[in-house]
Amino acid sequence: WTEGTVTDAENSLTELAALAETAGSQVLEGLIQRRTRPDPATYIGRGKVDDLGAVVLSTGADTVICDGELSPSQLRNLEQRTKVKVVDRTALILDIFAQHAKSKEGKAQVELAQLEYLLPRLRGWGETLSRQTGGSGRGGGAGGGVGVRGPGETKLETDRRRIRHRISRLRREIKSMKTVRVTKRARRSRNAVPAVAIAGYTNAGKSSLLNRLTGAGVLVENALFATLDPTTRKATAADGRLYTLSDTVGFVRHLPHQIVEAFRSTLEEVAEADLVVHVVDGTHPDPEEQVRAVHAVLAEVSADRLPELLVVNKTDAADEDTLLRLKRLWPDAIFVSAYSGRGIDGLRAAIEERLPRPAVEVRAVLP
Ligand code: GDP
**Ligand 1 centroid vs 294 CA: distance in angstroms?**
17
Q: Report the alpha-carbon distance of residue 192 to residue 357 in Å, rounded.
A: 10
Task: List pocket residues of ligand 1, CB cut-off 6 Å.
Answer: 200, 202-208, 220-222, 226-227, 250, 313-314, 316-317, 337-339
Atom of ligand 1 nearest to the CA of 203: 2
Higher pLDDT, 367 or 144: 367
Q: What are phi and psi of 310, to 5 degrees?
A: -85, 130
Mean pLDDT of 319-338: 96
Cβ 224 vs Cβ 174: under 8 Å: no
**Confidence category of residue 67, pLDDT binned at 50, 70, 90:** confident
Percent of the chain with pLDDT over 90: 26
**In this predicted complex, what is the ipTM?**
0.98
Tell which one of 198, 206, 208, 315 to mutate to probe ligand 1, the residue whose CB is within 8 A of the most ligand atoms: 208
Instruction: Tell me the best of 220, 222, 249, 335 to mutate to test the pocket of ligand 1, counting ligand atoms within 8 Å of each CB and taking the most.
Output: 220
- If you classify domain 6-100 with CATH, what class do you get? alpha beta
Position 250 scores a pLDDT of 62
Render pLDDT for 256-269 as a digit per residue (tens, 0 to 9). 666 766 666 667 77
The pLDDT of residue 309 is 96
Residue 217 clears pLDDT 70, i.e. is over it = no
Which numbered atom of ligand 1 lies nearest the CA of 209?
Answer: 7
Ligand 1 atom 5: the closest Cα is on which residue? 205
279 Cα nearest atom in ligand 1: 3
Query: Which CATH fold topology does 193-354 show?
Result: Rossmann fold (3.40.50)
Q: What is the 3-state secondary structure (H, E, C) of the chain?
A: CECCCHHHHHHHHHHHHHHHHHCCCCCCCCCCCECCCCECCCECCHHHHHHHHHHHHHHCCCEEEECCCCCHHHHHHHHHHHCCEEEEHHHHHHHHHHHHCCCHHHHHHHHHHHHHHHHHHHHHHCCCCCCCCCCCCCCCCCCCCCCCCCHHHHHHHHHHHHHHHHHHHHHHHHHHHHHHHHHHHHHHHHCCCCEEEEEEECCCCHHHHHHHHHCCCCCCCCCCCCCCCCEEEEEECCCCCEEEEEECCCECCCCCHHHHHHCHHHHHHHHCCCEEEEEEECCCCCHHHHHHHHHHHHHHCCCCCCCEEEEEECCCCCCHHHHHHHHHHCCCCEECCCCCCCCHHHHHHHHHHHCCCCCCCCCCCCC
Residue 152's nearest CA partner among 128, 184, 168 is 128
Global pTM reads 0.69
pLDDT in tens, 75-104: 889 999 999 999 998 888 888 778 777 778
Pocket test for ligand 1, best of 21, 203, 248, 312 (most atoms within 8 A of CB): 203
Condensed to tens digits (0 to 9), the pLDDT of residues 256-310 reads 666 766 666 667 777 788 999 999 999 998 899 889 988 988 887 778 889 999 9
Q: Where are the domains of the chain?
A: 6-100, 101-124+152-191, 193-354
Residue type at 279 in one-letter notation: V
- Listed in sequence order, the residues at least 6 apart from 114 whose beta carbon sits closer than 8 Å to its beta carbon are 94, 98, 258
Q: How far is the CA of 191 from the centre of ligand 1 (A)?
A: 32
* Residue located nearest, by CA, to atom 13 of ligand 1: 222
Domain 6-100 shares a fold with domain 193-354: yes
pLDDT in tens, 153-177: 577 888 889 999 999 999 999 888 8
